[in-house]
Amino acid sequence: MSPPSVLALVPSYNHGSFIRDRVQSILAQTFENFEVDVIDDCSTDQTMDVLKSFSDGRVKTSRRSTNSGSPFSAWLDVSRTLANSNFEYVWIAESDDRAEPLFLERAVSALNNNRSASMYYCHSWFIDDSDLIIGHSINYLKRVFPDVEWDRGWIMSGGDFIRRCLVRGMAIPNMSSALIRAEAFRSAVHSSLARYKLAADWVFAIRAATLGDVIFDPWDGNYFRHHARTSRKETDTARMLFEHMSATRTALLSGMVDRETYLEQMRVWTNMYRCEKVRLPDFVKWGWKVSRSDLPACLSNLATA
């Protein structure tokens, strides 16, 4: 019987300085039954020159003629690819991150031994543009989700993962640290993700968690790149808060979260809204662009909190 196969998706845009290390860290995996699908979003740097230097037949490269404006458009492309393929797992290997050689071997083994699980993920080292280690995921996770044990491995039902973690924040700090079962990936991906700038992976994780258990491995198998300039730092606060509220509402609509827990977290976002002195017209503007269906409920929470 053949081992499970992995589709390693590399959404790429202007990461020419990092793309070689990223692809090489995939090709160096001890688990070898995979294909690398690099989808370049019309990069204007040396990315394509670097990609053309790879001769390994497992590396497939495509380039858009125009920029889509969202890295999550590549997720939609891969979702369509999965409909006509036999891949069992999807690895969203972001183009500026890298992995330890054993990452896929551990991840595939964990998921293959737990058929009820939809996702696996591990700890990440945070690195800067010069590859210097500047932090670790355990510090973020313990601060934001203190009721979960992050220094030991566990398998949690998707419902518990949403209730204990995802209703409050993104508990998978970097999607490069995760391996997702293909059918869960296809079910969780939706065209609406492309409208989010910060919370698309969070909304995706909630949807995926409704489809099975979540496996956490306290192993340092991933390297998460942090840049001086990031989308989070440059995103309008009104948009950030609306996307956070929208993700929390996604958790409620999953049916895994009681209303009191939902309202408690919405009060956190409302207090932030007030402390940051967000203008209501700005909040409405972003709500209309990102998720019109969530806007009335989010405005109601602002009015009643």
* 137-161 residue pLDDT tens: 999 999 999 999 999 999 999 999 9
pLDDT value of position 114: 96
Report all structural domains of the chain as residue ranges with CATH numbers, in order of start.
Answer: 6-232 (3.90.550.10), 236-304 (no CATH)
pLDDT value of position 111: 97
pLDDT value of position 305: 57
Judging by beta carbons within 10 Å of its beta carbon (0-12, 13-18, 19+), is residue 20 exposed, middle or buried? middle
Strands (E), 71-212: 89-92, 98-99, 117-127, 133-136, 154-156, 178-181
Judging by beta carbons within 10 Å of its beta carbon (0-12, 13-18, 19+), is residue 147 exposed, middle or buried? exposed
Confidence (pTM): 0.93
Tokens of 129: 């543009």
pLDDT value of position 227: 85
pLDDT value of position 160: 98
Packing angle, helices 237-253 and 280-290, rounded to 10: 50
pLDDT value of position 79: 85
Residue ranges of the chain with per-residue pLDDT less than 70? 1-4, 229-235, 305
* 260-275 residue pLDDT tens: 999 999 999 999 999 9
pLDDT value of position 3: 61
